[in-house]
Structure 1
Amino acid sequence: MSALTSTQVLAELAERYGISSNYHDWLGEYVEVSPEVLVAVLAALDVDAATEEAAQAALDAADERPWRQTLPPTTVARTGAATEFFVHVPAGEPVTVTIHLEDGAVRDARQLEHLVEPRVIDAAPVGEAKFQLPADLPLGWHEIRAVVGNTAEAAADGAAGSGPVATATLIVTPDAASTQLDARAWGIMAQLYQARSAESWGIGDLRDLRTIGQWGAEHGADFVLVNPFHAPSVTTPIEPSPYLPTSRRFSDPSLLRIEDLAEVLELHEAEAQRLLELASYGQAANRVDAIDRDASWLAKREALGICFEAARRGDHDRWRAFGNYCEIEGQSLIDFATWCALCEQLGGNWRDWPEAFQDPGNDAVDEFRQQHADRIEFYCWVQFSLQEQKERTQQALREAGMQIGVMNDLAVGVHPSGADAWSLNHSLARGVSVGAPPDAYNQMGQDWSQPPLRPDALERTGYAPLRDMLRKAFVGAGALRIDHILGMFRQWWVPAGMPASQGTFVTFDHEAMIGVLLLEAERAGALVIGEDLGTVSKLTREVMADRHVYGTQIMWFEREDDGTPKRPEHYRQECLASVTTHDLPPTAGYLELAHVDLRERLGVLTRPAEDERADERATIAAYTDILREEGLIGADAPTTEELVLALHRHMARSNSQLFQVALADLAGDRRPINQPGTYREYPNWTLPLTGPDGQLRLLDEVLADEFAGQLAEAAVRPQAE
């Protein structure tokens, strides 16, 4: 077989699995993906393409796969649509297909005329039938059941997969998001760990979130967007980035306000005294110019242990509520708590554990669960307590007058050594990681070290991993921001050992991914926002618009076709707009070019610093001219604070339904919380709030400052006529 034919087979095989064999880069140049990359990405999906013969065999198997399954593993339908699907049975055999709804009702699927020749599989002819779902099926997670033959035995079989009775997942999704806003709204975006109050234990918590929300509501705000609340490691050192968690299905226990937890418990005198000592230790960290997650968590973990023992001997009704919570959460909670307990014994990286403990289904793990049942129960109880405080926080913000309340943030992926990577072992691709291709800002590409969910595993499992993650993300929230929503359409996979530029795109079934997102949002009664900054495909924006998923626009990045700053009336309506973002300095810092100074100091500029400064000054000057035209500043040179207020008044007039103001801007901070392109060169995600003078500011001080009130007033939205 010629080299050309071999390349064609590899490209065909890659296409079957949604892997791009070519693409156009950020400059519009055509790129052929190397055979080495294609072979490595296919291997991550357990497809052997290392030799010509293996690739051809895998291609033949991919072509036959649907014919070996009675039903497709998952069917996704939109409400109101008469969706069609194929059923494969031994040629000549009759088949009956029914729909079993969540509520127990049963509906019939209608067989359509479909004439196609049988196909020989393993020396036996297999026929193909076409069925149609009723168009009026309710939203939800249902089951398709196919009974092959006419025997009562077949109908009673009930076995999943191929055979006399086959079952498969049916997901009926909304056509579009139904939760919408009645009027334009503004809110506050906060890296909550920065928002330390006098009572915090060195890190902002859910009580601090309530404080921000209630203050915001008093000033007309309708939401608080927070950093991802996903769980980090329970062992130190703790990864500081909220965008590289150990689990996206469970939450960070450092969010808990210990005093709120303890006030409903009957503590012994010694226990109460120890909590006071721990509180004093934690609160002393509030005056240190760094967020020490390790110290905060170690203090809170001891305090939670005290509270747990008190809870076990206390209110029986609450303990029963905890039991109900565990029953609802099921095996995923047990697995997460088991991972936490194992980390305490074996270290925080499960890939370094003895092999017997590297799979949650192994006998050694089950034996460990029995031996450490109390510790596993403790970590289950911590998550129960977190859910209670999150739900109470959301309730408090809604009662304060916010129409949305908490807006949660969903990270792109998880840490490769963490809980989800361990418990979802069979649903994640191995030997690759998610990243981003080269672009204008990162010309070498990016490798985020996150193991991706497998598209084929999602289909095989009925999208349960995605559903479970989204359900948890909507807890205690009125809206959810999806970081890098392009990942629900396609992802950049980088094979292990290769540079980030040597990857390729892997396509996901966006109809299913967005459908599951909208279904869970519908059930939560929540708004959905997709972060679609940077290089995003035309398809992504078209689908978002069609299904009413809000987008994201940052003022500094937005330009008209002629290169001038985008006018407020030209922003998308279904959009979350802001002046700045967590990957840029606060607005005052940007205006003073703190980002250029920092990047120059760190050596991460790709061109001379003076060229960077000249371009940024030109951008700021263009906005200054617009602000004068709009009468938002006078003829004299404005101060930094005057420009900050004017830019927010300018953006508050935008066409976007949602507008947000950074808590760091309310504080007058200058320092960026994250500098992209750095690792330990800059203290990313660990800096507390400071004021214009660079001095630490507690949340109480920020919200009491006159400037914060002025900025909140500037953010109030004029309503559309």
Structure 2
Amino acid sequence: MNFRKEVISLAKHLGAETEYLDASRKTVEPSLETLLIFIKTMGFEIHSEKDLEEAKNILKADCSRKTPVLLTENRKIRVPFSDQKEAVLTDEDGKVVFTTCKNKFLQLPEDLPPGYYFLEVSSPGNHQLRKVMIIHSPRKAYLPQKKHWGLYLGLYSLQSINNQGIGDLADLAKLQEIVVQSGASYLGLLPLHLMDKEDPPQTSPYLPLDRFAFDPIYIPLNQYTESLDNQEFSRFRKTSLVDYQQIWKAKERILRKNFERMVCSETFRENIESFLKKQGKRFALSILYQALATQKGNNWHNWPVEIRKPSSRLLESSCKVNDKEYLFQAFLQLLLHRYLKELTSKNKILALDLPLGFAPHGAENWIEQEIVVPEFSVGAPPDAFSPQGQDWGFHPLHPHKIRNNHYQHFISLLRFNMQYARFLRFDHILSLKRLFWIPQGAKAHEGLYVKYPTQELLSILTLESKNANTVIIGEDLGTVPSGFRKLLQQHNVLSTRVFYFEVDRQGFPIPPEQYPPKSIFLFNTHDMPPLRGFLKSQDLKLRRKLKILEEETFVKSLLERKKFIVKMLQLLENKKLLPEDVSEEDFEEIFQALVAFGRNVPSLVKALSLEDLLGKTFQPNLPGTTIKQYPNWRKKYRIKWETLQRKIDQIANYWNEPK
């Protein structure tokens, strides 16, 4: 027996990709050590050939790995257990749909609505039931008839005269009003989820404590007299960077004071209890985490052993012991939901962002321990911009366990994040196909790709999209597996198309008509420089200064940037959008030309960053840096609403659809 060959075979069977092409199109194979660690997380510890044989035998006998979930095909389902004869089909609420099964196939009723169903199969006289989830999906996600355009931004970046040093939901309401008046119908936001504000290096919208809770730092305090003429808030407003930790401490003091005034009211408590009941147990556990974290810190790994795992008993006992703190945390979430509900009641145009991961020490990791893989973190293999690869600092979910659990976590996650969203940006949608897993303590280049049940996850995504009338925007940048973008298009998932990246074989930007209709058209993303910074190659110079780029790579990248800019100007001149004498220094002319270019792009959605609208050079995030190197997610911009209205109206002249 060839031990390595057999280990590779077992790893493949368990879902690993045992080789991949790197950025230079070279084949990379994970080490034997990495493969064995992966196999161990899948439930098999391999030290010998005997262990390999035992693992194979167990897998052959374990039918539950193969049939916990089924997809419908032309309303026909093959009954997974051939020795079983009777079947009961129920819906999500437990209501029986039908109870007959004459052969190995079930034919679903013609009028059966899309949804999740559960098939229980048994033989006559056999009391052992086998339960299978059936995903009866419409296969195509929701898409509107008309095209949309608008802005995207980090809410934190709005430096208005009325907020407390960070953009808030009152600022968002004002911005939405301006956007709608201009004829736009898309307002994209970086994630609004609960962040770790205790530890500034961990404060990131893409490393939330919980994707099932919003961050109360975005609650506006204008209605509270204590916030008016507050010198502390005045000082926060004047700074150019957001100080999450200090701003939240100041805002929390005022929110607690007002909570204390209301908490004795029976009506107040009833409103909170009603809110919690409507949101469900998963949400209640998130509130519990927040209440416990106030006293014991955000890192649940450091809590007393008896509360390191959530349970119904812990929830019940803790709510009694910490009743007031629990109610306070629920009160904060209630305020956030009220603001978002009011904001979206008239104009539902928000594009909310669903991050790929969550902090290992936070609420979601605490609650979902059973499906998290702590032995690995998620990242990316080496490429030109990250020669050592990337470790994103959070754990992956176990592909077998989420499936055996009938995708309860994924379904709940989508429903929570779609409730106020007309559009949902799905960060790193390639995760529906595969993720790059890195063993804890290893270098990023020592990782491997792990496959996920793509069709089942996509079917759930399209079903929830249709139910919520929410457009799905897939962030499908980077190394995309062959055929994956086509699969997304077939399911009506919008592709993310960035102007900087869409080039032909000669390196020229592609003409507008070549953009796919099922896409979102952007100049850049939050991880890239805005147009003015791009033209100045500011990002490349900063990366060299921070030693992220070596000199040779910097020189090569700078040359490629210069060539692209020349070809971009040529294209815009050929399209009669730009005079011939314009250089890369003429930002305003180039910006207007690119906006005019975008008018002819057939993408369903077009969006500009706030940074581009304001002509800034500063990018929101510089990947691969810490806050000591670069103020990621902290830069603010002074906002004059009248100026912003005028600038958006100028875009509207190009991007509004003719009536």
TM-score by length of 2: 0.93
1:214-293 equivalences under 5 Å are 214-233=177-196, 235-237=198-200, 239-259=202-222, 262=223, 273-276=225-228, 280-293=231-244
State whether residues 112 and 132 of structure 1, in contact with CA within 8 Å, keep that contact through their aligned partners in structure 2: no
**2:569 corresponds to which residue?**
624
Residue 65 of structure 1 and its aligned partner are, at CA, apart by 0.7
State whether residues 611 and 619 of structure 2, in contact with CA within 8 Å, keep that contact through their aligned partners in structure 1: no
Asked if 1:32 is matched to 2:34, the reply is no
Change (3 A) 1:237 1:534: closer
Provide the C-alpha distance between the structure 2 equivalents of 1:284 and 1:250, rounded to a whole number of angstroms. Answer: 28
Provide the C-alpha distance between the structure 1 equivalents of 2:602 and 2:266, rounded to a whole number of angstroms. Answer: 51
Provide the C-alpha distance between the structure 2 equivalents of 1:240 and 1:644, rounded to a whole number of angstroms. Answer: 32
**2:653 corresponds to which residue?**
713
**1:389 corresponds to which residue?**
339
Residue 596 of structure 1 and its aligned partner are, at CA, apart by 2.2
State whether residues 193 and 213 of structure 2, in contact with CA within 8 Å, keep that contact through their aligned partners in structure 1: yes
Residue of structure 2 aligned with 1:683, choices 604, 625, 631: 631
State whether residues 197 and 203 of structure 2, in contact with CA within 8 Å, keep that contact through their aligned partners in structure 1: no
State whether residues 355 and 426 of structure 2, in contact with CA within 8 Å, keep that contact through their aligned partners in structure 1: yes
Residue 513 of structure 1 and its aligned partner are, at CA, apart by 0.8
Unaligned ranges ≥5, structure 1: 114-129, 155-162, 263-271, 399-404, 690-696
- AA paired with 1:95? K
State whether residues 528 and 622 of structure 2, in contact with CA within 8 Å, keep that contact through their aligned partners in structure 1: yes
Residue 145 of structure 1 and its aligned partner are, at CA, apart by 1.8
Residue 475 of structure 1 and its aligned partner are, at CA, apart by 1.8
**1:294 corresponds to which residue?**
245
Residue of structure 1 aligned with 2:605, choices 644, 655, 658: 658
1:292-441 equivalences under 5 Å are 292-313=243-264, 316=267, 320-361=270-311, 367-398=317-348, 405-441=349-385
Provide the C-alpha distance between the structure 2 equivalents of 1:364 and 1:358, rounded to a whole number of angstroms. Answer: 10
Residue 15 of structure 1 and its aligned partner are, at CA, apart by 2.0
State whether residues 45 and 429 of structure 1, in contact with CA within 8 Å, keep that contact through their aligned partners in structure 2: no
State whether residues 21 and 504 of structure 1, in contact with CA within 8 Å, keep that contact through their aligned partners in structure 2: yes
Residue of structure 2 aligned with 1:634, choices 569, 579, 587: 579
- AA paired with 1:98? V
- AA paired with 1:593? S
**1:442 corresponds to which residue?**
386
**More displaced 10-residue stretch of structure 1: 301-310 or 281-290:** 301-310
- AA paired with 1:713? N
State whether residues 77 and 171 of structure 1, in contact with CA within 8 Å, keep that contact through their aligned partners in structure 2: yes
Provide the C-alpha distance between the structure 2 equivalents of 1:22 and 1:112, rounded to a whole number of angstroms. Answer: 42
Kindly provide the CA deviation profile for residues 96-137 of structure 1, in whole angstroms up to 9, marking residues without a partner as x. Answer: 102112462422454435xxxxxxxxxxxxxxxx65655653
**More displaced 10-residue stretch of structure 1: 21-30 or 546-555:** 21-30
RMSD of Structure 2 on Structure 1 (CA): 2.4
1:150-161 equivalences under 5 Å are 150=125, 154=127
- AA paired with 2:273? G
**More displaced 10-residue stretch of structure 1: 708-717 or 208-217:** 708-717
**1:461 corresponds to which residue?**
405
Provide the C-alpha distance between the structure 2 equivalents of 1:397 and 1:348, rounded to a whole number of angstroms. Answer: 36
Provide the C-alpha distance between the structure 1 equivalents of 2:424 and 2:254, rounded to a whole number of angstroms. Answer: 31
State whether residues 19 and 29 of structure 2, in contact with CA within 8 Å, keep that contact through their aligned partners in structure 1: yes
Asked if 1:646 is matched to 2:597, the reply is no
Change (3 A) 1:195 1:425: same
Change (3 A) 1:26 1:593: closer
**More displaced 10-residue stretch of structure 1: 516-525 or 95-104:** 95-104
Kindly provide the CA deviation profile for residues 359-390 of structure 1, in whole angstroms up to 9, marking residues without a partner as x. Answer: 11396776444311221122122222212211
Unaligned ranges ≥5, structure 2: none
Residue of structure 2 aligned with 1:560, choices 487, 501, 504: 504
Provide the C-alpha distance between the structure 1 equivalents of 2:245 and 2:329, rounded to a whole number of angstroms. Answer: 17
Residue 226 of structure 1 and its aligned partner are, at CA, apart by 0.5
- AA paired with 1:187? G
- AA paired with 2:644? L
**1:190 corresponds to which residue?**
153
Provide the C-alpha distance between the structure 1 equivalents of 2:615 and 2:654, rounded to a whole number of angstroms. Answer: 15
Provide the C-alpha distance between the structure 2 equivalents of 1:699 and 1:348, rounded to a whole number of angstroms. Answer: 37
Determine helix, strand or coil for the equivalent of 1:286.
Answer: helix
**1:20 corresponds to which residue?**
17
Asked if 1:167 is matched to 2:131, the reply is yes
Determine helix, strand or coil for the equivalent of 1:112.
Answer: coil
**1:481 corresponds to which residue?**
425
State whether residues 34 and 439 of structure 2, in contact with CA within 8 Å, keep that contact through their aligned partners in structure 1: yes
State whether residues 10 and 55 of structure 1, in contact with CA within 8 Å, keep that contact through their aligned partners in structure 2: yes
Residue 149 of structure 1 and its aligned partner are, at CA, apart by 2.4
Residue of structure 1 aligned with 2:477, choices 510, 513, 533: 533
- AA paired with 1:619? F
State whether residues 352 and 421 of structure 2, in contact with CA within 8 Å, keep that contact through their aligned partners in structure 1: yes
Residue 418 of structure 1 and its aligned partner are, at CA, apart by 0.8
Determine helix, strand or coil for the equivalent of 2:45.
Answer: coil
Provide the C-alpha distance between the structure 2 equivalents of 1:280 and 1:500, rounded to a whole number of angstroms. Answer: 46
Residue of structure 2 aligned with 1:698, choices 611, 627, 639: 639
Provide the C-alpha distance between the structure 2 equivalents of 1:717 and 1:603, rounded to a whole number of angstroms. Answer: 46
- AA paired with 1:550? L
Residue 281 of structure 1 and its aligned partner are, at CA, apart by 2.7
Residue 677 of structure 1 and its aligned partner are, at CA, apart by 2.0
Change (3 A) 1:610 1:27: closer
Provide the C-alpha distance between the structure 2 equivalents of 1:452 and 1:420, rounded to a whole number of angstroms. Answer: 12
Residue of structure 2 aligned with 1:143, choices 99, 113, 118: 118
Asked if 1:667 is matched to 2:614, the reply is yes
- AA paired with 1:443? P
1:97-108 equivalences under 5 Å are 97-102=87-92, 104-108=95-99
Provide the C-alpha distance between the structure 2 equivalents of 1:614 and 1:543, rounded to a whole number of angstroms. Answer: 35
Residue 540 of structure 1 and its aligned partner are, at CA, apart by 1.6
Change (3 A) 1:708 1:631: same
State whether residues 521 and 527 of structure 1, in contact with CA within 8 Å, keep that contact through their aligned partners in structure 2: yes
Residue 18 of structure 1 and its aligned partner are, at CA, apart by 0.8
State whether residues 179 and 648 of structure 2, in contact with CA within 8 Å, keep that contact through their aligned partners in structure 1: no
Change (3 A) 1:449 1:606: same
Provide the C-alpha distance between the structure 1 equivalents of 2:251 and 2:144, rounded to a whole number of angstroms. Answer: 38
Aligned pairs, number: 654
Change (3 A) 1:620 1:485: same
Residue of structure 2 aligned with 1:592, choices 511, 533, 536: 536
State whether residues 76 and 106 of structure 2, in contact with CA within 8 Å, keep that contact through their aligned partners in structure 1: no
Provide the C-alpha distance between the structure 1 equivalents of 2:28 and 2:532, rounded to a whole number of angstroms. Answer: 41
Residue 233 of structure 1 and its aligned partner are, at CA, apart by 2.5
Residue 36 of structure 1 and its aligned partner are, at CA, apart by 0.6
Determine helix, strand or coil for the equivalent of 1:450.
Answer: coil
**2:54 corresponds to which residue?**
57
Change (3 A) 1:300 1:75: farther
Change (3 A) 1:471 1:671: same
Provide the C-alpha distance between the structure 2 equivalents of 1:238 and 1:274, rounded to a whole number of angstroms. Answer: 30
Provide the C-alpha distance between the structure 1 equivalents of 2:276 and 2:41, rounded to a whole number of angstroms. Answer: 34
**More displaced 10-residue stretch of structure 1: 473-482 or 380-389:** 380-389
Residue 188 of structure 1 and its aligned partner are, at CA, apart by 0.5
Provide the C-alpha distance between the structure 2 equivalents of 1:85 and 1:607, rounded to a whole number of angstroms. Answer: 61
Q: Percent identity, aligned pairs only?
A: 26
Residue 309 of structure 1 and its aligned partner are, at CA, apart by 3.3
- AA paired with 1:42? I
Determine helix, strand or coil for the equivalent of 1:453.
Answer: coil
Residue 637 of structure 1 and its aligned partner are, at CA, apart by 2.6
- AA paired with 1:710? Q
Provide the C-alpha distance between the structure 2 equivalents of 1:636 and 1:72, rounded to a whole number of angstroms. Answer: 65
Determine helix, strand or coil for the equivalent of 2:337.
Answer: helix
Residue 602 of structure 1 and its aligned partner are, at CA, apart by 1.5
Kindly provide the CA deviation profile for residues 311-336 of structure 1, in whole angstroms up to 9, marking residues without a partner as x. Answer: 435583x7544323211322212211
State whether residues 197 and 245 of structure 2, in contact with CA within 8 Å, keep that contact through their aligned partners in structure 1: no
TM-score by length of 1: 0.86
